Amino acid sequence: MIPTTTAVRLVARREIVERLRERSLYISTGLTIAILAGALVLPQVLGFGGATKATVAVVGPRAAQVVDQARAQQKAFDVELTARPVGDDAAARKLVSDGDADVAVLSGARALAAAQDADDAVVAAVQAGSQAARGARLPPPLPVLGTADNGASDRQGIAFVAVVILYGQLLGYGYWVASGVVEEKSTRVVELLLSAIRPRQLLAGKVIGIGLLGLAQLLFIGVVGVAIGAASGQLELSSDLVAAVGVVVAWFVLGFGLYSCAFAVAGALVPRQEEIQSVTAPLTVLILTGFFLSFGALDDPGSQLARVLSFIPPSAPMVMPVRMIAGDVAAWEIAASVALTLAAAVALISLAARVYGAAVLRTGSRVTLRAVWRATGEKA
């Protein structure tokens, strides 16, 4: 038998070389980048969106008068302002901090509170309204008071794109693992391979090889997507954006480690490519469920449901990265989620290697997981 390290390396290299020859890899990469580019560039090119809509919190009659004057000339600034009366300055500031208002005119129209990411045209329109309301030719502008920048909308947008890409990568590369196993079974190549290496080595090499290829594709898509967004002015190259790419890459590794062995076992149970979809359906549903559950975390990263789902290994690779990108997550929560996902992956790898070794040589008809499990028990 070939030493484990050498065997795993050879199988991984074979998987990478074989997949690099497939046009589907380049087609999927090109389509993903095209979709990203379209989402980033087309709205700007086609002039979608119209006037910038903004909510202005107002405190008292003088502040309301400022907003009325601003709305009277809002077309000149290409904005559409909506006034939202509130009881006091603290409530107005909170609306701005929470992202429920873009700016706030405080009591007595003495100051303007604005989020750090408030649109310049909105601020300019309100300042013009202040000048008109005070009736002076060149009155001083309202002092602008900054508020805590939660950047919620920007982070939510980044988190949404991140989880869509993560979902596609986990599902697509998991399916590649299953189809690769079935291909080897149907052509009887697996019999030749297992005459020289052990089933565990074959499984490890296959998972590592396809995983490395998926990681490289993910990094390439991320870098190109960020470059397109920065060049078009739709994305600002910030620490949040770089951190989001890092979070997606890290959770792809964890999620792929968790799901890939399960897809390998599923592939080992069937003899033909036509049966892959049916045997992998439960895993597809599991990933899809995690994908949809992540939308709840996108809306409210701190909700109780989102926190619980972050600690359940099948859903953690989808939910935790969304929470990390879109909101503030305690360090202990991240550490616990990673530890639980890793523990589940390690347990699954051990289980998968045992089942895979018993099922992969069974050809001719589909076998059940129960039958394979009994066979492994008899061998033990």
Percent of the chain with pLDDT over 90: 9
Residues 120 and 178 in one domain: no
Q: Please, which pLDDT band fits residue 43 given cuts at 50, 70 and 90?
A: low
Residues 224 and 335 in one domain: yes
Burial-class residue 343 by CB neighbours within 10 Å (0-12, 13-18, 19+). Answer: exposed
Q: Is residue 285 included in any domain, yes or no?
A: yes
Question: What integer pLDDT is reported at residue 363 of this predicted model?
Answer: 63
Residues 192 and 273 in one domain: yes
230-244 pLDDT, tens digit per residue, is 777 666 677 777 788
Say what the pTM is.
0.67
| Last residue within a domain, chosen from 146, 174, 209 | 146
| Last residue within a domain, chosen from 108, 129, 146 | 146
Residues 134 and 218 in one domain: no
Question: What integer pLDDT is reported at residue 47 of this predicted model?
Answer: 52
Residues 282 and 167 in one domain: yes
Sequence-distant (≥ 6) Cβ neighbours of residue 299 within 8 angstroms: none
242-276 pLDDT, tens digit per residue, is 788 888 889 999 999 889 888 888 887 887 888 88
CA distance 114 to 99: 10
DSSP 112: E
Full residue range of the structural domain in which residue 293 is found: 4-42+152-379
Residues 63 and 208 in one domain: no
Locus of tokens 């002015």: 233
Q: Is residue 47 included in any domain, yes or no?
A: no
- Total domains, the chain: 2
Parallel, antiparallel, or unpaired: how do β-strands 103-105 and 112-114 relate?
antiparallel
Residues 141 and 161 in one domain: no
**141-174: string of b/e by CB count within 10 Å (b at 16+)?**
ebeeeebeebbbebbbbbbbbbbbbbbbbbbebb
Residues 170 and 271 in one domain: yes
Q: Is residue 204 included in any domain, yes or no?
A: yes
DSSP string, 60-109: SHHHHHHHHHHHHTGGGGTEEEEEEE-SSHHHHHHHHHHTS-SEEEPGGG
Residues 31 and 121 in one domain: no
Among candidates 60, 55, 52, which has minimal Cα distance to 133?
A: 60
Above 60 in pLDDT, residue 104?
yes
Instruction: Answer for the pair 301, 327: CB distance below 8 angstroms, yes or no.
Output: yes
326-342 pLDDT, tens digit per residue, is 877 888 999 999 999 99
Above 90 in pLDDT, residue 96?
no
Among candidates 189, 200, 220, 266, which has minimal Cα distance to 18?
A: 189
Instruction: Answer for the pair 296, 176: CB distance below 8 angstroms, yes or no.
Output: no
CA distance 219 to 14: 21
Above 90 in pLDDT, residue 90?
no
Reported as type and span, the H/E element at residue 145 is strand 144-146
CB count within 10 Å of CB 175 equals: 18
293-312 pLDDT, tens digit per residue, is 888 888 788 888 889 999 99
Sequence-distant (≥ 6) Cβ neighbours of residue 205 within 8 angstroms: 7, 8, 9, 10, 11, 12, 14, 15
CATH number of the domain where residue 65 is located = 3.40.190.10
CA distance 156 to 86: 27
51-78 pLDDT, tens digit per residue, is 678 888 888 888 888 888 888 888 877 7
Q: Please, which pLDDT band fits residue 138 given cuts at 50, 70 and 90?
A: very low
CA distance 41 to 46: 9
Residues 356 and 340 in one domain: yes
Q: What average pLDDT is seen over the chain?
A: 80
Question: What integer pLDDT is reported at residue 137 of this predicted model?
Answer: 45
Question: What length is written for the chain?
Answer: 380
Question: What integer pLDDT is reported at residue 312 of this predicted model?
Answer: 93
Mean pLDDT value across residues 284-299: 88
Residues 156 and 18 in one domain: yes
Residues 122 and 245 in one domain: no
Q: Please, which pLDDT band fits residue 144 given cuts at 50, 70 and 90?
A: low
Q: Please, which pLDDT band fits residue 148 given cuts at 50, 70 and 90?
A: very low
Mean pLDDT value across residues 172-180: 87
| Last residue within a domain, chosen from 128, 146, 164 | 146
